[in-house]
Amino acid sequence: MWFSNAIIYRLTRDIEFNPETLEKQAAEFPYVECSSQSVQSFGWTKPLGTFGEMLTHVAGDAIFMCAMSETRAVPAQVLKKQWMTL
């Protein structure tokens, strides 16, 4: 998986994260591509791509997660048509 835009956060305070709890919570919001009627989509994907099965990956003291978002641009013709009907 190649990233077109990656943001990495490093926490400087000790915070207790439980990988099992994070996995359950992320599973409630999986990434689903934009449908024909939706303008944007956001959700969690597998950090190891096709090589992984979980939404979290634990390595040492680190927990890796991958969020994905998609935003569709609204065509100018649609905006113009909507503006004309107002």
A 10 A CB-CB count for 20 gives 10
Contacting residues for 27 by C-beta, under 8 A, at least 6 apart: 44, 55
Mean per-residue pLDDT of the chain: 82
Q: What is the pLDDT of residues 14-51, one digit of tens each?
A: 777 888 989 999 999 999 988 877 888 999 999 888 88
pLDDT the model gives residue 45:
92
A 10 A CB-CB count for 46 gives 20
Tokens 């994070």 belong to residue: 22
Q: What is the pTM of this model?
A: 0.66
